[in-house]
Structure 1
């Protein structure tokens, strides 16, 4: 069921939600959170589709905030709110409210969203693209217990990691971090089986892929060993190599779907390691609403402390501008030219 409202307000939107639930006999109970999506008109459809798919696991009220910024100074003089209310089959397993903000109302989106939040339920704010620099300091971000971004959508993904680290607040997270959850699980399980001491590590993946950098920083932070960052043609993250005194532990995924795990003294085995879509990533993030301390530690480790294949720092200057001294590296082949591919 869909209800279109023009030049409306939050009170009328809430009334429309109650009326729609009564008309189709759908109770409000059962929704576990409010998901606020902050996006533009171009990305609204894809973001809403992913949120609806994720709502099958996490029934929620989805509030989509579309800021219609006009270049005309005259059009910004009058504030206007248009809304679309969806309940039932048109909104996954919960409720959906699409808000289109015009004029000066764009700068006061939180005042429109606040009355639409489910009472006594957690709030998660998601920016599919165009996230602010300070997530917790943003008026909409301040409403959420969790704040989700995707650094891969930024023009400079690697630089965005430094920005996220500088402005990190408990509750921040990144879909680029969520993408490497299967990799982290597989590598941790491999080390539990072997019980070997890792002396160095290598992470291979396409250039400017924040997931590769986050995995490398996670390994360097947790294992306290030098980590080398090498390039490949992708797609995305392609291989991880952990050096031990008994041989190398290698997790290699060349095609983006099936990986091969090689461990000393054991036969090679094939493991499923497919690239997941946005709905699966979002559903994983909605499973936990507490701060991710592991993500925080990995993010703050810093890309500048990683090494490139020639032994130099992956980034010659740290975020503060001071040079970072690289650890001595073993000889390694020069990286292959990287070919940029979609990682979403």
Structure 2
């Protein structure tokens, strides 16, 4: 069910939610958090679809704040989606025009679930120091996606400079499977120390920079980044760990598949699919405490690797 509320107010949206609950039995019971998504008008549907899918694992209230600050007329249009149109969640879409778009905190405060955690997500371009923004100050966790911005590497550098505990970025979440496979490869004999590391990836891949930083931080060895290896695909292309008995390499050879090469062992093909918005969002919503490992990489390791 979708209820349209053109030219409305945040107070009227809240009253309509109460009426829906009383008349249709749609209640907030079982909702574990409020997710606030910041978007631009006309770009909401893909992120709503991802949040709806994630809500099947994490039932929540989704508040989408879409803005058009360049509009001449101050106006708030809203939609409330419940039932089949909202997955396992309640979706409130607020489209703020003109001056109405300047007070985002005021728009959402009365719509938050009482006594429930708040997570804010910027799926596209994000402001500097998101923790200091009006919606960032409301949230326990703040999610950005540097890979979805116009200049991913510069965005990641800005995120690092303004990092506060509770911040995370999908460029880091997309590394979970890579980190697990590399850790598993090192958890086998001969247990020799790694002497150096090479990481290759696309020039605009923030995940490549983060993986190199994580390996350098945890292995305490030089890490070389190659962003000109001739592979036209996006993301991470290859990781090579050097040690006395030979190289361990993990290389993406085709979509969803990587090859693992180890000295004295046959080559193994492993499933390592690229993670979409739904998978990344669901993983981040499983924990509402700060991601200390991500913070350590940004504060101590990010930017310490050398480019080839």
Shorter-chain TM-score bucket reads over 0.9
Tell me how far apart the structure 1 counterparts of residues 2 and 233 of structure 2 sit (CA, whole Å). 42
Give the match's secondary structure for 1:225. coil
Query: Gapped runs of 5+ residues in structure 1?
Result: 310-344
RMSD over aligned CA atoms reads: 1.5
The residue matched to 2:283 in structure 1 has which SS? Answer: helix
User: d(CA) in 1 for partners of 2:96 and 2:23?
Assistant: 27
- Asked if 1:37 corresponds to 2:37, the answer is yes
Alignment of 1:202-281 (within 5 A): 202-231=198-227, 232-281=231-280
Q: Does the 8 Å contact 1:257/1:272 carry over to 2?
A: yes
The alpha carbon displacement at 1:205 in A equals 1.1
* Cα distance in 1 for residues equivalent to 2:300 and 2:226: 18
- 8 Å Cα contact 2:214/2:301 also seen in 1: no
Tell me how far 1:276 sits from its aligned partner. Answer: 1.6
1:271 CA displacement: 1.1
TM-score by length of 2: 0.94
Aligned length: 304
- Listed as ranges, the matches of 1:321-332 within 5 Å are none
Are the aligned partners of 1:199 and 1:225 in contact in 2 as well (CA < 8 Å)?
Answer: yes
Alpha-carbon distance between aligned partners in 2 of 1:274 and 1:149, rounded to the nearest angstrom: 21
Given the superposition, is the C-alpha separation of residues 304 and 95 from structure 1 closer, same or farther in structure 2, using an over 3 Å criterion? closer
Match of 2:58 in 1: 58
How far apart are 1:25 and its partner, in Å? 2.8
Length-normalised TM-score, structure 1: 0.85
Q: 2:151 aligns with which of 135, 153, 156?
A: 156
Q: 2-side partners of 1:47 and 1:41: how far apart? A: 12
Long gaps (5+) in structure 2: none
Distance 1:249 1:234 in 2: 22
Counterpart of 1:13? 13
